[in-house]
Structure 1
Amino acid sequence: MTEQEIASAAAALAEAERSGTQLEALPVAPASVTEAHAIQDRVVALTGTPVGAFKATAPLDKEPTRGLIYAHMIRQSPARLPTAEVPHLGVEGEVAFRFTRDLPARGTPYTREEVAEALVALPAIEVVSSRYREPRAKPPLEQLADRNINGALVPGAEIADWSHLEMQSLRVTLFVNDEPVVDREGGHPTGDPLGVAVALVNMMREGTGVKAGQLVTTGSWTGLRFLNPGDRCAVEFAGLGRAEVVFDF
């Protein structure tokens, strides 16, 4: 993509955010992760919206990615979210981390140990929603350009001493309207939530770095489910805790 094409795609997404309208497609689609990230960054610059968190992926056989989560769309559990703010009402139960100190830009990669020492852990519900009318019909790079179709993040209470948790085999239960719809041990896409946080830090070290207080959510343990207005959702991780959200009409 040219700079003009990145600017055009970002302008379309920024206008959709301002107006609450939904796009059918971008005027020009990204062809790489780098271009999709550049569109995200340009949208943030256009809207002037502070970034409070990231959704990160670190597939074993693909390039890592990050989606920007706006600070005002982080709602502490138990949360109530108007459907108008997150109209697609997707939910994913996730393990997230909060950074307790800055990890600034630098030339050398951060080690796993350095990142782990700067984190507290918490349960979270990522709310999936988009500026596209049909987000799941879009190719992955177009989804990524739209902040990886993030709508909101609902974090639960954090724990500082999480090193004893066997993250690859935590028991997770997802409830919808008080009924368990997922109940199993494990389920993280890579089995290594901390590794995803490390990947995020090393993506960001080439730009702005990460700031104390920002969060990173590290991938769905429960799959993606779409709910309805009025539904209640909760996720519970054994030893880590619970997060809850209600979608108001």
Structure 2
Amino acid sequence: MTEAEIETAAVLLADARRSGTQIDGLPVTPLSVAEGHAIQDRVAVLIGERIGAYKAGAPPDAEPTRGLIEARMVRASPARIAVAEAPHRGVEGETAFRFTRDLPPRSVPYTREDVASAVTVLPVIEIVSSRFREPLSRPKLEQLADCGINAGLVTGPETADWSHLELAKLRITFIVNGETRIARDGGHPTDDPLAGAVALANMLADGVKAGQIVTTGSWTGLPFLQPGDRCLVRFEGLGEAEVVFDG
């Protein structure tokens, strides 16, 4: 993509965010993760919102990715989110990490041990919604440009000492409107929740800041709910997060 094409894509997405409207797609699809990230970054400048969290993926056989999450859309559990704020109403139960100190950019990559010593862990619900009218029909790199079709994050309690927990094997319970949809041990897509936090620390040009959160992959798939629905995710040993979509 040219700089002009990146700017055009960013303006379209920023305008859709401001107005609460949806678009069919981008005029030019990004061809790389770097271009998707560049569009995200330009949207953030145009919107002018503080970034409070990230979503990050670190698949073992592909390039890591990240999505920006506006601080105003990071809500403490139990949370109520208006349908207008997240019209697609997607939910993903996840484990996330809050950075307890800055990890500035450096020439030597941060190790797992570096990152593990600088984070707490917490249960979250990622709220999935998009500026695209039919987000899952768009190419993956367009979804990435739209911050990985993220709309927000609902956060549960933090655990500072989590060294005794096998994060990838935690028991998860996922409940919608009182009905248990998932109850099992494990379920993270790569069996390595911390990998996303490590990837993020090494990915950001400006580093990560104390207080920022990174969520690292869905344990529950991606169900889409209805107005008025109540969703709860519980991780044994960590606690739970809950959200209701106000109609």
Please give the TM-score of this superposition, normalised by the length of structure 1. 0.98
SS of corresponding position for 1:158: coil
Question: How far has the Cα of 1:29 moved from its partner?
Answer: 1.2
**Structure 2 CA distance, aligned partners of 1:27 and 1:211?**
34
Unaligned runs of 5+ in 2: none
- Picking from 212, 215, 218, the partner of 1:214 is 212
Instruction: Give the letter aligned to residue 126 of structure 2.
Output: E
> Of 230, 233, 236, which aligns to 1:235?
233
Name the SS of the counterpart of 2:49 in structure 1. coil
> What letter is aligned with 2:13?
L
Structure 1: which 5+ runs fail to align? none
* CA apart distance, 1:27: 1.7
Whole-angstrom distance in 1 between the partners of 2:21 and 2:45: 20
In structure 1, the residue matched to 2:5 is 5
Query: What do the CA deviations read for 1:144-200 (whole angstroms, capped 9, x no partner)?
Result: 000000011001010101111111211101000011111111100111111111011
* TM, length-normalised to structure 2: 0.99
Task: Name the residue aligned to 2:61.
Answer: 61
C-alpha contact (below 8 Å) 1:8/1:28 kept by paired residues: no
- Identify the residue that residue 74 of structure 1 maps to in structure 2: 74
Partner SS, residue 80 of structure 1: strand
TM-aligned CA deviation for residue 67 of structure 1: 0.4
In the other structure, the counterpart of 1:185 is: 185
The answer for the alignment partner of 2:126 in structure 1 is 126
Q: Root-mean-square deviation (CA), in Å?
A: 0.6
1:118 Cα shift? Answer: 0.5
Q: Is 2:21 the counterpart of 1:21?
A: yes
CA–CA separation in structure 2 for the residues paired with 1:169 and 1:116: 17
Distance 1:63 1:147 in 2: 16
Deviation at 1:75, TM superposition (A): 0.5
Indicate the residue corresponding to 1:51 in structure 2: 51
2-structure distance, mates of 1:53, 1:8: 25
Partner Cα separation in structure 2 for residue 169 and residue 88 of structure 1: 30
Q: Distance in 2 between matches of 1:216 and 1:23?
A: 27
Q: Percent identity among equivalent residues? A: 66
| Separation of aligned partners in 2, 1:133 and 1:165 | 40
Whole-Å separation in 2 of the counterparts to 1:16 and 1:176: 29
Q: What is the number of equivalent residue pairs in this alignment?
A: 247
Once the two structures are superposed, what CA deviation does each residue of 1:49-92 show, in whole Å capped at 9, x if it has no partner? Answer: 11000000011111000000000000100000011100000000
Runs of 4+ in structure 1 off by over 2 angstroms are none
SS in 2 for 1:44: helix
One-letter amino acid of the structure 1 residue matched with residue 56 of structure 2: A
CA–CA separation in structure 1 for the residues paired with 2:64 and 2:211: 22
Q: What letter is aligned with 2:241?
A: A
Native 8 Å contact 2:36 2:144 kept in 1 = yes
